[in-house]
Structure 1
């Protein structure tokens, strides 16, 4: 079978820079950018007419995005990002005083902050379950199950961890929570585009970003809510849709928000379809396997041995003595950007520091070869 060629021409990314971190902020295809600009120009040409048209356009967009996730459109709402989705879910459940919100040590920082805020407000506590990087699905379920006692108000769990690129056994965990009467909240920030039908795992709440692997405009994400929670789930901003009994429409009307990214988002799904994304995703995964080994050899380190790693993300350990402060980490990334003209991200887990490589259709093996040649010079 012929290997698909990289398609950087479909993006407007600076060709003089190595873009090796699609997983953080994504990158929007040229065609979607043009649609987005046209929508914003239309809004500015006649704001009254634009806002009259928004409701129908949002409905059309939501239906396409829900179909992409293969989920019930009546339980699918648009939100700005997965952090907003998790926050809305926490606001919908009951958190009694003395109860616990359970997370793992793979949880995203902003999600942890949300759990801590709601725990403080309700005189509850946050409990962290340690899940080793190399844990298989059985070990993950056993570790989390041990923490699910009768004090637990909710489990928040990653579908694909941002810090470690580990894929969690969400269906098994959702079933476990259901059997215990515990609400499950799934942070699926990285899941759309990397997992097929990511929201079909039976969780009470699932949220995921479209601006990452589906390459939609930023501030585009979805929240999927199980039927029994839909009446209680409200948008974080009180606006004119406050009394709408329908979950999706309740989240749509947020006053003078910029709706253009939500409306333009499906265009990126069409770009992915033309790119044969499922096949390309598989090829990128194989390419990253080899690229990660190459970089680890150049650094004299090893790989993050994740039992079930996401398709297009890999961890390569950096030879740092200890975990740098957030400020030092940002300074290092800025140095790599400035000196090597390469954009990377760092993650830390269990006292180890990694470069988290990620790839999309604009990347090639040569990108990672260049990083392997150059990165040792700035350490």
Structure 2
């Protein structure tokens, strides 16, 4: 596949796939067919949509190694985490654990949940904050060492967002389970990028996006819930199918647009056609080469990368993008002046450049960005 297989502007170097993904034309055509079907016979469509969602859900669950009855479609990971938090029973003085790499919207959801319950938020500082270096076992030890008798839930990433690091999720799930702590995994970037087996992992709640790396339309995510929690799931909005329980009570919201979810299996078929291992290996190798190109030409310092990921991070010069507004302004300037779209991230004490690689990217995209950065910072 190349850029012609997507609806992307070919005049732009698109190097920020990790933020919003990109929809292949083939998947877009399938979603367009579904939208036309809705308008041809709305009453018939909505009368049958739940059964069709179940079929799509089964395909997605198989791709993720999850139990079909334990998976619900959600709009995105932020919604999935919010449903998980809404299902907890918290009391004053209880603790919810996050870390200093937690995605901003997830942290907001955790803090609001804690505030309503009179609970406390514990922020774990993972090792290697200043240079992006951390051995996985040290990260796990930092999380588990912070558990107290008041710790009720731990929220942690499968792959961190701004810093593009792989956390030892299996070790964390196992460790927290042994300590009686409920686990909520933010796996926004995992579906498609990694070969995951949700059932084997065994987290209480695991939620991932399909529209980032699994070629689904936006918005499309999943929430996988362990059997021990399914009867206790509390949807954010009451559903006509409330009494049916999970997953229908989470999925059905009357006349919402279900077409992204119904079209998601088409994206998974592209994976199967191309070979999931080949796609992942190609993207991981390309982003590593791209990082070296940017580092060599623009003089940026790469953080240690996890070799199986399709994202990596370089540190921007001191004083650059060290606030959120400045990060956004720099990303806009790179786009306006050079036609490159990269992930410029604010990170406390540093500005970061996050690069992604997808099938439409080529080495020339990274060379173009590298020249732009050399012009800006050289």
Is this contact kept in 2: 1:103–1:155, CA < 8 A? yes
**Of residues 7, 13, 19 in structure 2, which corresponds to 1:12?**
7
RMSD value, Cα: 1.4
Distance apart, 1:125 and its partner CA: 1.3
**Of residues 105, 113, 123 in structure 2, which corresponds to 1:128?**
123
User: Following superposition of structure 1 onto structure 2, how do residues 70-109 of structure 1 map, counting pairs within 5 Å?
Assistant: 70-109=65-104
**Of residues 47, 50, 54 in structure 1, which corresponds to 2:49?**
54
Give me the whole-angstrom Cα distance separating, in 1, the residues matched to 2:369 and 2:92: 50
**Of residues 359, 373, 377 in structure 1, which corresponds to 2:371?**
373
Q: Can you give the 5+ residue segments of structure 2 that lack an aligned partner in the other structure?
A: none
* Structure 2 match to 1:267: 266
Runs of 4+ deviating beyond 3 Å? none
Is this contact kept in 2: 1:322–1:351, CA < 8 A? no
Spell out, residue by residue over 1:328-363, the C-alpha distance to the aligned partner (whole angstroms, 9 max, x if none): 211111111111111111123352221100011111
Q: Secondary structure at the match of 1:258?
A: coil
Spell out, residue by residue over 1:90-132, the C-alpha distance to the aligned partner (whole angstroms, 9 max, x if none): 1111222111111111100000000000111011111111112
Q: Secondary structure at the match of 1:208?
A: strand
Distance apart, 1:274 and its partner CA: 1.8
* Structure 2 match to 1:220: 220
User: Following superposition of structure 1 onto structure 2, how do residues 1-379 of structure 1 map, counting pairs within 5 Å?
Assistant: 7-131=2-126, 132=128, 133-199=132-198, 200-245=200-245, 247-306=246-305, 308=306, 311-321=309-319, 323-379=321-377
Is this contact kept in 2: 1:137–1:168, CA < 8 A? yes
Give me the whole-angstrom Cα distance separating, in 2, the residues matched to 1:119 and 1:140: 24
Distance 1:106-1:310 versus aligned 2 partners, 3 A rule: farther
Spell out, residue by residue over 1:126-185, the C-alpha distance to the aligned partner (whole angstroms, 9 max, x if none): 111111231112101111111111111110000000011111111111111111111010
Is this contact kept in 2: 1:88–1:235, CA < 8 A? yes
Distance 1:359-1:311 versus aligned 2 partners, 3 A rule: same
Give me the whole-angstrom Cα distance separating, in 2, the residues matched to 1:68 and 1:156: 24
Distance apart, 1:9 and its partner CA: 2.2
| TM-score between the two structures when normalised by the length of structure 1 | 0.95
Is this contact kept in 1: 2:340–2:368, CA < 8 A? no
Q: Secondary structure at the match of 1:227?
A: coil
Give me the whole-angstrom Cα distance separating, in 1, the residues matched to 2:251 and 2:111: 27
Is this contact kept in 1: 2:102–2:157, CA < 8 A? yes
Distance apart, 1:12 and its partner CA: 1.3
Spell out, residue by residue over 1:291-336, the C-alpha distance to the aligned partner (whole angstroms, 9 max, x if none): 1011012222210124x45510011121131653222211111111
Is this contact kept in 1: 2:271–2:279, CA < 8 A? no
Is this contact kept in 1: 2:139–2:167, CA < 8 A? yes
Is this contact kept in 1: 2:334–2:372, CA < 8 A? no
| TM-score between the two structures when normalised by the length of structure 2 | 0.95
**Alignment length, in residue pairs?**
372
